Amino acid sequence: MAPRAFDAGYRALPISVQKLARRARGAVPYPWVRGLTFGALHRHFTRHDRWSTAELQRHQLAQLRRIAQLAERHVPAYRARLRQAGLAPGDIRSLADWRALPITTKVELQDAPEAFVNASIPAHARQARTTSGSTGTPLTLWLTKRTQQAELAVMFRGWEWNGYRPGDRIAVCAGALSGERLGPAHAPHTRYRDEIELSPSHLDERGALAYLELLRTFAPAHFRTYPSVAMMLAKTMADRGLEPPRVRTIWTQSETMDADDRAYIEASWGAPVVDYYGMQEKCVAMSQCEAGRMHVHSDFGLVEFVESDFPPLCHVIATGFYNDAMPLLRYATRDLAIPETTPCPCGRALPTVRRLVGRLEDYLVDRDGAPVLEADATIASLTTIRECQIVQESLERTRVLVVPGRHYQSEDGDELARRLRQQLGDGVEVTIETKARIPRTKTGKQRFIVSRVTSNWEP
């Protein structure tokens, strides 16, 4: 999740100072509550909102020249690459020029992270982040505070497209709590003036019921969370015959969500879902607009769609404009998407994607090694299953972890296994294991698919 200005070092403060700081924050109006940097960035991105394609491209080329120049001067890995490609940053005049630079892979970043660090930024001004190993490739990344504020600013731009207004109350259930823990141990939360934070790691049945009650009393306008959390709470409400807490919109992020899940969440909560897509590497950000399309914040980072071996799927290759501590140029995100070619009815020139299909690690592959794109269909209409995770151990063997809801019967599991076998191919062994809960990553995310089969269709 995007960190906030407030949390760095917060927990190191004595409780009395934390309380004072909270009270002070409560008195500051938006957007200054998130700091001066945020306010300036927010205004900057808001101004770009209605730029034409030509204006955006001019801006992107200027940003590419700037970040390439910085990389050439201060980042060892790129000094060599730019030279080898015969690319002088000052000479980048078109995206065709830019494509002379070879793609940077996650493996290269993993093998020698220090080679990608901008040595001219003092150590105290950059923060190291280790991404969870949930994708099988843990990474160490360096960011600046400005990087994080820039991402938050484009996130807010996206939410504003969908009706967020300063002063609206927000409930967040994504990532770790950023402040003092309030409430019972089984359902801790943090509270600011306009914002309440819940912990996605405390979502067993008891925690879920407590959080639903808390949402009812706090009455947020918007609920920012992972699709798996919105889904899990929706199923808890259905099981218990509870009315949903009233929210105007549900802001989702960090996990892929198929059309059925989205429809189920929207129907259960009686509120539209607005999705955001970002990544720890902070080189790409996308937000859903009021017309329902996912727009690339192409003034936050350049995104190139490079055709994969399975068209129309394209590799998402990105260059971030806001991480001077560790610039990533033409970075292969390992995400796949289908770009949209027609303009969006909302009128914004920011490019759009028709479909985001997630990471290479988030795919099942059939016996012939081809990606299974509709794996989510296997769970469709099996509403007695509260949560589920498909673990592909090998081409021959797949395990499914299932958290049964109140009305679950073993036939539901059998049906799920039958549908999966149909997609994966004859002779594939599919086993169902019922669990009390599905393990979540360090930041509380849940993965629907965990693949231990390495695909070889890199960009």
Residue 292 beta carbon to Zn ion: minimum distance, rounded to whole angstroms: 8
Is the CA virtual torsion 363, 367, 372, 374 positive or negative?
negative
User: Could you say whether residue 289 binds Zn ion (CB under 5 A)?
Assistant: yes
Residue 351 beta carbon to Zn ion: minimum distance, rounded to whole angstroms: 10
Which region, judged by CB under 5 A, interacts with Zn ion, from 285-293, 358-366, 399-407, 441-449? 285-293
**Smaller CB separation from Zn ion, 247 or 289:** 289
**Smaller CB separation from Zn ion, 50 or 418:** 50
User: In whole angstroms, what is the distance from residue 293 CA to residue 291 CA?
Assistant: 6
Whether the CB-CB separation of 313 and 338 falls below 8 Å is answered with yes
Contacts of 31 (CB under 8 A, 6+ apart): 38, 39, 42, 156, 166
Total residues at the site for Zn ion (CB under 5 A)? 5
**Smaller CB separation from Zn ion, 296 or 326:** 296
User: Could you say whether residue 350 binds Zn ion (CB under 5 A)?
Assistant: no
**Smaller CB separation from Zn ion, 289 or 417:** 289
Residue 158 beta carbon to Zn ion: minimum distance, rounded to whole angstroms: 10
User: In whole angstroms, what is the distance from residue 60 CA to residue 72 CA?
Assistant: 18
**Smaller CB separation from Zn ion, 77 or 296:** 296
CA distance to 8, 33, 166, 278, per residue, from 154 (Å): 20, 16, 15, 10
Alpha helices in 85-197 (DSSP H): 95-98, 106-111, 145-161
Residue 253 beta carbon to Zn ion: minimum distance, rounded to whole angstroms: 18
Please count the other Cβ atoms lying within 10 Å of the Cβ belonging to residue 237: 18
User: Could you say whether residue 25 binds Zn ion (CB under 5 A)?
Assistant: no
Which region, judged by CB under 5 A, interacts with Zn ion, from 228-236, 242-250, 301-309, 337-345? 337-345
Which region, judged by CB under 5 A, interacts with Zn ion, from 88-96, 117-125, 289-297, 312-320? 289-297
Residue 348 beta carbon to Zn ion: minimum distance, rounded to whole angstroms: 5
Residue 347 beta carbon to Zn ion: minimum distance, rounded to whole angstroms: 7
What SS3 string covers 283-328? CCCEEECCCCCEEECCCCEEEEEEECCCCCCEEEEEEECCCCCCCC
The residue within the footprint of Zn ion, chosen from 155, 170, 286, 344 (CB under 5 A), is 344
Residue 247 beta carbon to Zn ion: minimum distance, rounded to whole angstroms: 22
Residue 286 beta carbon to Zn ion: minimum distance, rounded to whole angstroms: 11
Q: Which of residues 141-160 bind Zn ion (CB under 5 A)?
A: none
Which region, judged by CB under 5 A, interacts with Zn ion, from 168-176, 266-274, 336-344, 432-440? 336-344
**Smaller CB separation from Zn ion, 123 or 291:** 291
Residue 263 beta carbon to Zn ion: minimum distance, rounded to whole angstroms: 20
Residue 298 beta carbon to Zn ion: minimum distance, rounded to whole angstroms: 13
The residue within the footprint of Zn ion, chosen from 34, 81, 282, 293 (CB under 5 A), is 293
Provide the terminal-to-terminal Cα distance of the chain, rounded to the nearest Å. 26
Which region, judged by CB under 5 A, interacts with Zn ion, from 203-211, 343-351, 401-409, 440-448? 343-351
Q: Which of residues 30-59 bind Zn ion (CB under 5 A)?
A: none
User: Could you say whether residue 291 binds Zn ion (CB under 5 A)?
Assistant: yes
What tokens appear for 145 in the block? 């505070």
Token pair 């093998």: residue: 111
User: Could you say whether residue 346 binds Zn ion (CB under 5 A)?
Assistant: yes
User: In whole angstroms, what is the distance from residue 388 CA to residue 223 CA?
Assistant: 23
User: In whole angstroms, what is the distance from residue 369 CA to residue 12 CA?
Assistant: 49
Strands 352-359 and 331-339: antiparallel
User: In whole angstroms, what is the distance from residue 55 CA to residue 160 CA?
Assistant: 22
User: In whole angstroms, what is the distance from residue 58 CA to residue 39 CA?
Assistant: 24
Which region, judged by CB under 5 A, interacts with Zn ion, from 72-80, 284-292, 307-315, 435-443? 284-292
**Smaller CB separation from Zn ion, 48 or 293:** 293
CA distance to 154, 188, 288, 294, per residue, from 277 (Å): 11, 27, 9, 9
What tokens appear for 250 in the block? 């549900």
Q: Can you give the binding site for Zn ion, defined by CB under 5 A? A: 289, 291, 293, 344, 346
